[in-house]
Amino acid sequence: SKEQLLTNTEGLTSELSDLDKKHLIHPVAVPKHHASKGPKIIFSKGDGINVKDLNEHTYIDGVSMLWNVNVGHGKKELADVAHHQMSKMAYSSTFYGYGNEPAIRLAEKISRLTPGDLNTVFFTSGGSESNDTAFKLSRFYWQLKGFKDKRKIISLRRGYHGVTVSAQRATGIDAFRNFSGSTDPDIVNAKAHLTECELGDKTHPEYSGCIRSVIEELGADKIAAVIVEPIQGAGGVHVPPEGYLKAVRALCDEFNILLIADEVICGFGRTGEMFGVSHWDITPDLMSIAKGITSGYAQLGGVVMNDRVADTIKEYNDILPHGFTYSGHPTACAVGLKNIEIVEREGLVKNAYKMGKELEKGFTYLEEKHEFFTNPRTVGLLAGFDLMKDPVVNIPFDSSVQAAVSVVEECYQRGLLIRCFDFEPGMNIVAVAPPLIIQKQEIETIISILDEAMTAFSQKVKW
Ligand code: PMP
């Protein structure tokens, strides 16, 4: 009976919860809280934009888990292709010059999708590994060119590039950047985030924190590369001002520095273009990819290099001492190929653009209705907004109000999973980034849940 079933699943939930508390440390969770409360949700199934827990409780996945489940949950085709490849040959190495068909075909496919002459791929298992690889290959490129001192990497405040040590130090979010006291003297985090001053305006108040001023201070002969996300994701969904990325590209050219675009979130359609850089018509020298390449159905990442970098490396006549056991993993690459096929066949890049417009309309409605809802931004299905006590005169909520956390919690109570960012004083940012398969009616549901959640929040909060 249904009752019996519920008792069983409740029993299972409680058993798993106890085991989790005992045996797991969760990333980006509060260990002490977790050790007493256990997992917030134990997922069991996914279908389209929806996910379920063990007790058949349904949630809308409003941020595609970690902005990566782009084709949505439960795509059987991806399970089938993994099954097929695993049955034939689940894994083979790409070390020592060994090859496999999925990795070769996926590299060729990526070279056709990426802009300009980004034609050569080095595979990894995820975003952090991709960025560390991009840093190493940038330095190696300059060494091969005879510039041994060009080692430093410049990143931006509020950039998120991952958690391996170099990627961690490139990340411009203090808690992540400083965790466990890791250091890497060759990574320099510029103090400014995406601001107009990169255009060279020395009168701008934040000029001293800008990429140009950092280059001038360190000396271009010490700098290997600049890394930027086309749109900052985990730093709070910041869209660069018009002309910004072009100016950064020009700056890199002027000072002979490589430009790395971290497309880990933006890549493969999230923003309504296949890659984020296409919105601003620039081509980086190296591009880090992960997440959307497989929509999370397998662990895969990579660095795509332009011909200038790749041709130089291809001249190197000794062993390249870099690579991961899972570089070019055949099953992950087969899943990646099928995932891209789905993205193209279902027109998901275009759908991300169209549904982004629907989300934008919804945000306009919310902005008119809730006076504390402000600064909405949507680029395809990468979207966010701020909550402020008084946006007109720029007064943030007191941190004790926990505005963004509360709105996210109200959404959770109503079956919508979204994310918030409040790592700087006064920051209350909420991100929305559903799977790219989402339809108009589902966007409307998300907006109406946000609407109810903000009404509930405003009734509870003491102004
Ligand atoms: N770069 C960006 C832009 C990211 O958003 C992330 C992950 N959120 C990473 C890198 C790190 O990727 P991973 O967690 O796969 O190592």
pLDDT over 90 (residue 294): yes
Distance CA 428, CA 122 (A): 37
Q: Tell me the CATH number of domain 41-71+348-460, given options 3.30.70.260, 3.90.1150.10, 3.30.930.10, 3.40.50.300.
A: 3.90.1150.10
What is the token pair recorded at 99? 């090859």
Which comes out higher in pLDDT, residue 461 or 203?
A: 461
Torsion of CA 118, 268, 79, 101, to 10 degrees: -10
Interval 205-221: pLDDT, tens: 777 789 999 999 999 99
In angstroms, what is the span from residue 45 Cα to ligand 1's centroid? Answer: 24
Report the relative pairing of strands 429-432 and 419-421 from DSSP bridges. antiparallel
What is the biggest distance separating any 2 CA atoms in the chain, rounded to whole angstroms?
74
Distance CA 418, CA 318 (A): 48
Residue 209: CB atoms within 10 A of its CB come to: 18
- Residue holding tokens 């391996």? 164
pTM > 0.95: yes or no: yes
DSSP code at position 396: P
Q: Which SS3 state, helix, strand or coil, does residue 411 take?
A: helix
In angstroms, what is the span from residue 162 Cα to ligand 1's centroid? Answer: 5
How much is the pLDDT for 180? 98
- Residue holding tokens 């010490």? 222
Architecture of the CATH domain 76-345: 3-Layer(aba) Sandwich (3.40)
Name which of 349, 309, 327 is nearest 117 in CA terms. Answer: 309
Distance CA 73, CA 53 (A): 13
Q: What is the ipTM of this complex?
A: 0.99
Mean pLDDT score, 375-385: 98
What is the token pair recorded at 375? 């600064």
Do residues 59 and 445 touch, judged by C-beta distance below 8 A?
no
User: Which residue, judged by its Cα, is nearest atom 5 of ligand 1?
Assistant: 265
In angstroms, what is the span from residue 163 Cα to ligand 1's centroid? Answer: 8
Q: Which residues line ligand 1 (CB under 6 A)?
A: 66, 126-128, 131, 160-162, 229, 233-234, 262, 264-265, 290
Residue extents of the structural domains in the chain: 41-71+348-460, 76-345
Q: Cβ contacts of residue 84 below 8 Å, gap of 6+?
A: 334
Residue 249: CB atoms within 10 A of its CB come to: 21
How much is the pLDDT for 135? 99
pLDDT over 70 (residue 293): yes
Q: For ligand 1, pick from 125, 128, 171 the residue to mutate: most ligand atoms within 8 Å of CB.
A: 128
